[in-house]
Amino acid sequence: MKKEHNIKIFILLFFVSVILSFGTVSAAYNTINGSNFDDIQNTIDSSNSGDTILLGNKTYYSNTNSNINLNSNNIIIKGQSSSSKAILDGSGSQTQIMVIRGNNVRLENLIFRNAKTNIFGGAISTSSANLNIVNCDFINNNALNGGAIYSTANLNIFGATFTNNRAINGGAIYSSSGLTIDKSTFFNNHASSNGGGIYTSSKTSIKGNSKFNSNSAHKGAAIFSKKNSLTIAKTVKFNKNKASIGLSTSLVNKVVQYGKTKLKVKVNGYNNNIKIGGDVPIWADNYKSVKINGKTAKKYVVKPGTKFKLYVNGKAINTKFKSKTGSYVDINTYPTYEWKDFTFTATFNGGGIFNKSTTKFKFSARIANTDVYNMDKNKKSKRYYPYRKDKLQIKLSNGKIITKTIGQYASDNAYLLGAEKVPSNLRKFLWGYSGVADVNQSSISKQTLKILVSSSLKSKSSGAKGLLTPEKKLRAIQSWVGDNCVYLYEVPGGLIPPAGGAEVLKRINNKSIKNDTNCVGFSNLFVSLARTAGLPVSYINIPGHMIVAAYSIKNGKWYGVIIEPQTSSGNVYPNQDSFYQKGPMDIVWDSNGNKIIYYGIESVFGGDRTLDGVNYYSGLPIPLWDYQRLLDYSNYYNFAYNPNNVYKYVLCDVLYVY
C-alpha cells in the first residue's frame, strides 16, 4: 500500500513539472553566427530575459551604418575572455555602436572602438535602469557628448579602459544619473569644453586603483563635476592631466566710460579648479561637494601677478591678474556712428600643469544718437557750454543689444555735430563746393560756432538754450544771415557778381568792405554755415531768384522746409511804396496798371504758419507748399500782393539745383 502511494506521488510530481515547463523558459547561451551588427541584433531579438549572448573573440562591423538596439531586460553580452575579447568596430563612419534601453544589462570582455556620431554616446548610449560594464575597452570613439558612453541611468564600471575618446563634454563618459567607477583607466581622452575623462552631473564615486593619465579639456582635464557629490578614493591616481586656466572675457555691467570701453577679463578657474598632488585634474562647480580620501577638496588659486596677454582687434596689451577674481583692463575703443566690430582675445601662455588658454569675446558698437545741449555751466563765465549725450549701442554675438547713455561736457566742436543723424539719401546735401558752398572752411566753421554758442548770456544773439535741435540751428543761422547781409541787386555797370559763402562772410567781417550781396550770395552763405553745422541744405532756383531748402526733424522724421535766407524774421510784408534792401521782392505792373509786389518764399519758421501749411496774413489764407511737394510736382505757387488786397497766384517753375 505504501509503495502504491509513493508511485502516485511520483506521477503527480512528474505532471506538475511538465506543466511548469510550459510556463517557464530556462536561461540560454546564444552564440552569434556571423560578423556584423545585424547578426548581433538578430540574436538579441530572439533572446529572452536572463539569456547570455556569446560573441567569442571575433570582430564585428556595421554593414548598414545601423546600431545595435538592446531593449530586453536581464541580458548579458560577453566576449570570450578578459584576454581574448570580442571587438565591436564602428569603422569611423558615423556609426553609433549600441543603444541600451533594457534594465539590468551586463557587458563583459568587449572592445568598443572607432565609433563616430554627431549625437550623444559614440560607443554606447544608455537609459537602462542599471548598466554594468566589466573588463571592457573603449578606444577612439567620438560623439557630441560622451565620446564613449552617454548615460542617463545608473552606470557601474569595473576594470575598464578608456583611450583616445573625444567629445565636447565628457571625452570618455557623460553621466547624469549615478556613476561608480572601480579599477579603471582613463588615458589621453579629450573634451573641447568640459571633462576630458568624465563629465558628471550626478552622484559619482571613483575608487580602487583607477588612473587618469594625460587627459585634457578646457575645464576639468580628468573630471568635470557639475553641482553634484563626487567622492574619490585615496588610491585613485592623477598624472599629467592638463586643462586650460578657465579664462574668459566679458564686459562689466557698467560697460562703457566716455571715450573708452572697459573690459573685464575674468579667470573662472580661480574658484573651481581642484589640485591633487602635482596635478589639477578636476573642475567642480561646487568644490565643497568633492571629497578626496574623505576630506573636502581644496581649490587651486592662480597667483595674482600672473601674466597674460589681451589682444584688442589684433593689438597686444600685456597685463597681469590683479586679484583672485580677475583683471580689469581699460581700452580706448570709443566707437563711431556706424557699427564697429571689436574682438578681444585673452591668452594665458600656460606651462606646468596648465595648457595654453585662449578665449575670444566679440561685439559690435556704435553711437546710435548724439544730442547736444547748450547749458550755462558757470554763470560767471557768461557763456553757454555744449553738453553732449551719446546713446551707445553694443550688440553681442547672440544678437542682444545693450544701450547706454553717456553724458559729459564737450568741446565747442560738439555744436557742429548732426551730420551723423542725416539719412543716406540726404547726405549729398552736406557736401562742400569751394567758392560756392564753403563747408567746413576755417572762417565758416568759426562763424558757425559763434552763431550757435553765445559769447555772452546778455548778448542779443545768444545761442539757443537747452537741446540744440536742427530747427534751433536753422533759426539761429537764418537770423544771423538776414541781420548781416545787405541785398544789392545791381551795381554801376551791371548786376552784382555772385559770391561764395566764405567771400560773403569776408565782406561782413571786414568793415572797410560793403557787405553787399544778392540772393545767390545769401544762399551760398546760408548753405555754407548750415552744412558746417551738420544740417542738410540744398539750393532752389526759381525764375529770377535763388532760395534754399533745409531739412529738419519733426516727431522723429525728416522733412523738408523752404527758407528765405535774406530775411531774419521769416516773413516780410513791406508797404506799397517801400523798397527794402533786405527781403526778396520785385515790383511790376500788371496790364491794368496795378502795382504788384512779388515776394520771395517765406521761411517755415517765421510768421504765423500753422501746422496745416496755411499762412495767415490780414486774415486771408495764403497757401504755402512745403519742399517735399516742390520735389514731387516741380512747381511752386508764388504769390503777388496788391495794396488793394487783390491777390494773385502766379505759377512759377522751380529748378532744383543741388
Higher-pLDDT residue of 642 and 440 is 440
* 23, pLDDT greater than 50: no
CB 386 within 8 A of CB 411: yes
Per-residue confidence band for 52, with pLDDT thresholds at 50, 70 and 90:
very high
**Nearest-angstrom CA–CA distance, 194 and 174:** 10
Task: Report helix, strand or coil for 290.
Answer: strand
* 602, pLDDT greater than 70: no
Determine the average pLDDT of the residues in 567-582.
35
What is the pLDDT at residue 181? 97
* 526, pLDDT greater than 70: yes
Mean pLDDT for the chain overall = 76
Cell numbers standing for residue 42: 538578430
Task: Report helix, strand or coil for 268.
Answer: helix
**Nearest-angstrom CA–CA distance, 336 and 634:** 38
Per-residue confidence band for 379, with pLDDT thresholds at 50, 70 and 90:
low
Which residues is 190 bridged to in the sheet? 166, 216
* 629, pLDDT greater than 50: no
* 351, pLDDT greater than 80: no
Helices (H), 492-612: 501-509, 519-532
Per-residue confidence band for 491, with pLDDT thresholds at 50, 70 and 90:
low
Short-list 371, 363, 368, 362, CA closest to 403: 368
pLDDT, tens only, 105-133: 999 999 999 999 988 999 999 997 799 99
Backbone dihedral region of 183: left (phi > 0), alpha (psi from -120 to 50 degrees) or beta?
Answer: left
The one-letter amino acid code at 605 reads F
Per-residue confidence band for 480, with pLDDT thresholds at 50, 70 and 90:
confident
The residue written with cell numbers 550688440 in the block is: 395
Dihedral through CA 26, CA 29, CA 35, CA 39, nearest 10?
Answer: 0
What is the pLDDT at residue 125? 95
Per-residue confidence band for 538, with pLDDT thresholds at 50, 70 and 90:
confident
Q: Is the sign of the CA dihedral 120, 123, 126, 130 positive or negative?
A: negative
* 99, pLDDT greater than 90: yes
What is the pLDDT at residue 135? 97
**Crossing angle between the packed helical segments 519-532 and 470-484, to the nearest 10 degrees:** 140
**Nearest-angstrom CA–CA distance, 468 and 474:** 10
Between the alpha carbon of residue 275 and those of residues 227, 278, 408, 609, the distances in Å are 18, 7, 49, 80
Between the alpha carbon of residue 550 and those of residues 424, 525, 558, 628, the distances in Å are 15, 14, 10, 11
What is the pLDDT at residue 549? 75
CB 337 within 8 A of CB 422: no
Report the percentage of the chain scoring pLDDT > 90: 31
**Nearest-angstrom CA–CA distance, 438 and 343:** 40
pLDDT, tens only, 239-266: 999 887 767 777 765 555 656 666 676 6
